[in-house]
Structures are given as C-alpha cells and as structure tokens.
Structure 1
Amino acid sequence: MNDRPGVEPANRNGRLHPAQRSALLDLNFWVAAALVIAGLVVTVSLAAVAETAGAVLGTVVPLLAITGWFAFVCWRRLADAFGGRLTAVTGWTHDFDTARLTDEYPIGLHRSPEGFKSLESFSLRAGGRTYPLERKLRERIQPGRNNTVLIAPRSKVLINVLPA
C-alpha cells in the first residue's frame, strides 16, 4: 500500500493517496456503516408500530442517538478518505522499548512483550496520542533519527511513516 508509486510524494504534500483509502475504509468503517443502516431500519420500524408517544421516546430516541454516533464515525472516516489533509508530526524518534511512553520526544516507539494470552505488539506515540503500529509501518520507522508520522486528522488513524 505504501510502496506504490506516488504515495510518498502525496503524503509529503499532506494528502492521502487513493491507494491508502483502505486504511480508513476498513472493517471498522463497514461495521459502523452497517450499524447505521440497521439502526435506521429498526428505528423507522419501531416508530411505525409504536402506539404511544412514550413508546416512541423510550425506544426510538436512544436508537437514534446510537445510530447518530455511528453515522458520525462513518462521516469522519469518509471525510478523511476523500478530501482531508493529513497531519504530519516530524521529529526525533526515540525507542522506549518496554518502558512507559512519554511525550519527552516528538515520536516514541513502544514494545509490549509477549505474555500470557498476548502476542508481542508495538505502538507509536506522536502528537500526544498513542497509535497501534502494524508490521509494515514498524519496519519503515527507524529509531534514533528524525521521522515524519502522517495521521488522518478526524479519524485519528496512523497512515504512514516517512524518513524526515
């Protein structure tokens, strides 16, 4: 995904490359979209068969609130995927290894060791927020030097890592 021609120049200009949209329109997005559709269908169905205003308020309003939240989540992902600018955090990258992440450095790396019922995992902290670090991006970032981390601003999804 990040190895395609044109991805790095687009990211350096603060734009999401079309090949990277799948990072935002992933399973989480489609599950939320399905929940919005289901919520609307159930809400309309319940409102149509409700006999009293109390039944409508008691069931339809909470369902609309939950459906609205999932619609908001979908909107943020779509806005980032089709027109948003990427947020770039550039700076020295420090490897904390298994120590607690802090904001002492612009970019911090953390490794959670394998343990009982857990696999080894990696995370990255940039801009005051911690992101899970998938294998492809973990291989791209190099501690002990300057890197640029690109983040979708509305949905707060880590998109790419580039050498600064």
Structure 2
Amino acid sequence: MNDRPEVELANRNGRLHPAQRGALLDLTFWLTAAVVITGLVVTVSLALVATTAGEVLGTVVPLLAITGWFAFVCWRRLADAFGGRLAVVTGWTHDFGTARLTDEYPIGLHRSPEGFKSLESFTLRAGGRTYPLERKLRERIRPEQVNTVLIAPRSKVLINVLPA
C-alpha cells in the first residue's frame, strides 16, 4: 500500500493518501469509539436514574470525564485521517543496533534482540518520539542514508518511511 506511486507522491507532498487511512482508523480506533459510545449510554442511563446531586457528581461526572478523554482520542485519529497533512522528518538515519537510542541524529533505528519469550523488534526515533517499526516500513528505510519519516501529527502514528 505504501509503495504505490500515488501514495508516495502524496506523502512526498506532506499529505496522507486516502489508502493510508486504515493506519489511523485501525482496531485501536474502533475499540476506542466503542468505549465512547458505551460510556455515553451508561452516563445517560445513570443520569436518568440518579435521584440526588451526590449520585450525579459521584458517578455521572467522572464517567463523563473518562468518556470525554476517549472521545478526544477518537477525534485526533479522525482529524488526522481526514485532515490529510503529515508531519515530515527528513534527515540522516543512524542505525544504533542494540545500543540506546538518542536524539543525536534526526532519525534513529534500534533493534531489540530476540530473547526469552520475545521476538526481535525494531523501533524508530524521529522528532523526539519513538515509534514501533513494523516489518513493511523497516524494509523501506535505508540505514546510514537520508530518509523521510511521515507521522500523523495529532495522533502520533508512524505512517510511512521514504528513502530520500
């Protein structure tokens, strides 16, 4: 999906291609949306049966605050998915191997070795944040060269990696 010419062209222009919306509207988004809907239903139900102000303050207000937080998380994903602009970090990509990642380079790669009950995993650090690096993106990045990393600005999700 990320290697199609029209996707790469959109990304090089700092925009999210519609084919990439699935990276933001994934299982995490839908589970969060389900929590928001459930929270609203439970909050309204409790508000309707509450008989005192104490019941409202003690149960309804905290539930509404928690539901509001999950709604904010959903809004950030939706705004990134349909707002279309991406944060772009371009620069030298250093492969730290298994050493600790630092912000010495614009983009850093880290490998966590395979261990007892764990698989080898890769992370990428760009723009002061660390992101898990899935296999498809790991295959696209070129260590010890200049790369471009594209990130959804509100939800902080790694969208694509382009060799520069």
- Residues 19-46 of structure 1, C-alpha deviation per residue, up to 9 Å, x if partnerless? 0000000011000000000000000000
1:129 maps to 129
Letter in 1 for 2:85: R
SS at match of 1:82: helix
- Write the deviation string for residues 7-63 of structure 1: whole angstroms up to 9, x where unpaired: 000001111000000000001100000000000000000000111110111000110
Gaps of 5+ in 1: none
Q: Is the 2:91–2:107 Cα contact (8 Å) retained in structure 1?
A: yes
Query: What TM-score do the two structures reach when normalised by structure 1?
Result: 0.98
Residue 114 of structure 1: CA displacement?
1.2
Instruction: Provide the C-alpha distance between the structure 2 equivalents of 1:5 and 1:88, rounded to a whole number of angstroms.
Output: 18
Residue 158 of structure 1 aligns to a residue in which SS? strand
Aligned equivalent of 2:154 = 154
Q: How many angstroms apart in 2 are the aligned matches of 1:71 and 1:117?
A: 35
Q: Does the CA contact (< 8 Å) of 2:86 and 2:153 recur in 1?
A: yes
Q: CA deviation at 1:4?
A: 2.7
Partner of 1:144: helix, strand, or coil? coil
Q: How does 1:37-76 map to 2 (within 5 A)?
A: 37-76=37-76
Q: 1:35 maps to what in 2?
A: 35
Cα distance between partner residues in 2 of 1:131 and 1:53: 45
Which stretches of structure 1, 4 residues or more, deviate above 3 A after TM superposition?
A: none
Once residues 120 and 54 of structure 2 are traced to their aligned partners in structure 1, the CA distance between those partners, rounded to angstroms, is: 51
The equivalent residue for 1:140 is: 140
Please report how far the alpha carbon of residue 84 of structure 1 lies from its aligned counterpart in structure 2 after TM superposition: 3.5
Q: CA deviation at 1:86?
A: 0.4
State the aligned residue count: 164
Sequence identity percentage: 88
Which residue does the alignment assign to 2:119? 119
Separation of aligned partners in 2, 1:141 and 1:76 = 27
Distance 1:27 1:87 in 2: 23
- Give me the CA root mean square deviation: 0.7
Give SS of 2:161's match: strand
The yes-or-no answer on 1:26 pairing with 2:23 is no
1:15 maps to 15
- In structure 2, what residue type is equivalent to 1:51? T
Contact 2:32 2:74 (8 Å CA) reproduced: yes
Q: Deviations over 1:76-132 (max 9, x none)?
A: 000000014101100000000100000000000000011122111100000000000
